[in-house]
Chain A
Amino acid sequence: MADPYLRLDQLEVTFTGGRSPVRAVNGVDLTVDSGETVALIGESGSGKSVTLRAILRLNPEKKTRIGGKVTVGGRDVMGLGNKALAQFRGGEVAMIFQEPLLALDPVYTLGDQITEAIRRHEPISKADARKRALSLFERVRIPSPERRLDTYPHEMSGGMRQRAMIALALACNPKVLLADEPTTALDATVQIQILLLLRELQREFGLSIIFVTHDLGAAVEVADRIAVMYAGRIVEEGSARDIIHTPRHPYTIGLLKSRAHGAMTKGRRLDAIAGSPPDLADLPKGCAFAARCTLATDPCRQTQPELIQTETGTRARCLRTDQTLTRPGELVGA
């Protein structure tokens, strides 16, 4: 079997700007094959977006310490020089953001922003770049694309803006698409359209996608595999099916239980995970989830659990997996 196209080895990201260093990512191992979609899920501050940005080295360099290795297409990303890095960004790995209104330059037309990206990577004429931008707009199904190329971000609806952002990301035929909560800012019907579009484009271009979200429903919709992050670590990882049906980490189980899926009985309380995530500037010695976990014992608080293979398919960073087997259909309504 060939090496995975994208590989994170013990990725660590520490922000050193504040009074005490904040350890946002603490040893993340992740592989993504060509044409595979992996969803990174977790709550705010779990380190998923920071992980994504680290792949493109987008975290502010002066205030960030990065450890571990990022390999994309056989190249060590941390070792890239300025020129190679600029070529790599957008050319090999592209990114789409949560809120396209903020992530697009407000005073340039969409067409100009796309042609700028294309001409940054390839020596082609303005007219040719514009033709390509037009076909990209058609590809992401923006109505009257010719006219839309000359509009500014604020003149479009949220869904159209996200489509334009996807067109921009695909402008230089990247191999990997990093999607940072691309549907969070959109309303529900538009979310589905964008997810379907992403899946379609992924098949057509053979893209690898890392999809960051806190919405399990969206993750299941697009992902082959799901990795659950907590306090800067991947706590459970497996195929989308296994994660949804037979999760073994108490945190994943808690996330699934806290979803209001289907018709909830009136008067029933929503199962929420008690407590709040740990302070990333002062992480506990043992399992970071132990303080909120009903199954936690002394060993949990003393040692950092390793990622272990469970018999139900997922790999979980937990010492108590013997206690976490759920009945089929208990978590996801049959």
Chain B
Amino acid sequence: MLRYLVYRVVYAIPILLGVALVCFALVHISPGDPLISVLPADASVELQQRLLVIYGFDRSYPEQFILWLGRALSGDLGTSIASGRPVATEVFRAVGNTLLLAAVATVIGFFLGCLFGFVAGYFSNSWVDKAASTLAVLGVSVPHYWLGMVLVIIFSAQLGWLPATGAGPGGSGQWKWDWVHFQFLILPAVTMSVIPMGIVARTVRALVADILAQDFVTGLRAKGLGDLGVFFHVVKNAAPTALAVMGLQLGYLLGGSILIETVFSWPGTGMLLNTAIFQRDLPLLQGTILVLALFFVFLNLLVDVVQTALDPRIQRS
């Protein structure tokens, strides 16, 4: 197991390098001048040149990449062009907010997804199954920014129960664990949980129905196991695949949703990306994408390891 772990971690290094390269390239091949937002419209050529040198945009791309990568490895992601603050600070504050939102959405989505999935799988083709499956399909197909707006209209505008936007009273953005702040979390978290809920529900339903139709379930009953005993076996058999799907979903959630965070003005990575793109803030954009990509790599690694620990059929080589 330890050897497998080391192997997987070493294996992740070239992936990380590739990710860094793609991040860098993506930002640089996109059209537009990064300095346009900071330069006054009537800026002189000399000023333009000086800024280019300050930000390092005058060097060749490979040079820029190596410099950027070297600094990134030491934790310095550069300085935001728009705000002048270190990118790392900006990104990590946003990451904190996104994690909070993602964690709550994950708990809601996975719990409901597993619940619906198990019920539908156990009673497959009954009306319970059809109701749960319909809900799951709706969850996957409803555009979530639309759902977010509808929820805002109902619960904020009409009923006035919950705040519509922001992460705290007065747009402070400083999170505290109390009811006043938590209220701001409810609508975006619920909106965000709908997609993983639907996907997890459909996956778990298919898994459970498939497992229950297998011979070994008859075998388990034949040796005297009751419904609860069989249930544990079903859970353990469904777990590896379900976890893989959940890990991927968790990755998406942690990446933050540009649309949802924008609809609810939630100060997370999604909104940061949105801002960075519109302001052509290259260092901020690069840094944010890199941090998000690292999240994905790390999560995939984690899921792989957990999956291997759970399913003996996956080769540990």
Contacts and interface: CB of A to CB of B under 8 A. Distances in A.
Given A97-B219, A99-B215, A121 B312 contact: no
B226 A82 contact: yes
Interface stretch (B18-26, B229-237, B267-275, B296-304): B229-237
Contact of A152 (B216, B220, B237, B313): B313
A238 interface: no
A103 B224 contact: no
Q: Which of A53, A86, A104, A171 has the most CB of B within 10 A?
A: A86
A120 B223 contact: yes
Interface string B251-263: 0000000000000
A228 B147 CA distance: 64
Interface of A is mostly: helix
Given A97-B215, A103-B219, A107-B236, A117 B312 contact: no
A91 interface: yes
B141 interface: no
Interface in A75-115: 82, 86-91, 94-95, 97, 99, 102-109
Contact of B224 (A107, A117, A152, A155): A117
B222 A90 contact: yes
Given A89-B222, A120-B224, A103 B229 contact: no
B233 A102 contact: no
A272 interface: no
A155 B316 CA distance: 13
A95 B224 CA distance: 11
Given A99-B215, A152-B313, A107 B225 contact: no
A56 interface: yes
Interface string A36-68: 000000000000000001001010000000000
Nearest to B237: A107
Given A58-B218, A103-B215, A108 B233 contact: yes
A95 B229 CA distance: 18
Contacts of A116: 223, 225, 229
A121 B206 CA distance: 32
A53 B218 CA distance: 9
A148 B215 CA distance: 22
A154 interface: yes
A90 B223 contact: yes
A56 B233 CA distance: 20
A123 to B, nearest CB: 14
B225 A86 contact: yes
Q: Which of B216, B226, B240 has the most CB of A within 10 A?
A: B216
Nearest to A99: B215
Contacts of A56: 221-222
Contacts of A94: 222-223
Given A102-B215, A154-B313, A86 B224 contact: yes
A88 B226 CA distance: 12
B214 interface: yes
Contacts of B305: none
A106 B224 contact: no
A102 B224 contact: no
B222 A152 contact: no
A97 B217 CA distance: 12
Nearest to B234: A105
Contacts of A104: 216, 219
B219 A107 contact: no
B311 interface: yes
A58 B216 contact: no
Contact of B226 (A86, A117, A171): A86
A102 B215 CA distance: 6
Nearest to A91: B224
A11 to B, nearest CB: 18
A210 interface: no
A100 to B, nearest CB: 9
A121 B223 CA distance: 9
Contacts of B219: 95, 97, 103-105
A62 to B, nearest CB: 10
Contacts of B221: 56, 58, 89
A102 B216 contact: yes
Contacts of B137: none
Contacts of A82: 226
A25 interface: no
B162 interface: no
A117 B215 CA distance: 17
29 contacts: A58-B222, A82-B226, A86-B225, A86-B226, A89-B221, A90-B222, A90-B223, A94-B222, A95-B219, A102-B214, A104-B216, A105-B216, A105-B233, A106-B216, A106-B312, A107-B236, A107-B240, A107-B310, A107-B312, A107-B313, A108-B233, A108-B236, A117-B223, A117-B224, A120-B223, A120-B225, A120-B229, A152-B313, A171-B223
Given A104-B219, A107-B237, A120-B229, 9 more contacts: A86-B226, A89-B223, A90-B223, A104-B216, A107-B313, A116-B223, A117-B224, A154-B312, A168-B223
Interface of B: 214-216, 218-226, 229, 233, 236-237, 240, 310-313
- The 9 A-B pairs at the shortest CB distance, nearest first, are namely A90-B224, A90-B223, A102-B215, A103-B219, A117-B223, A95-B222, A89-B224, A152-B312, A103-B215
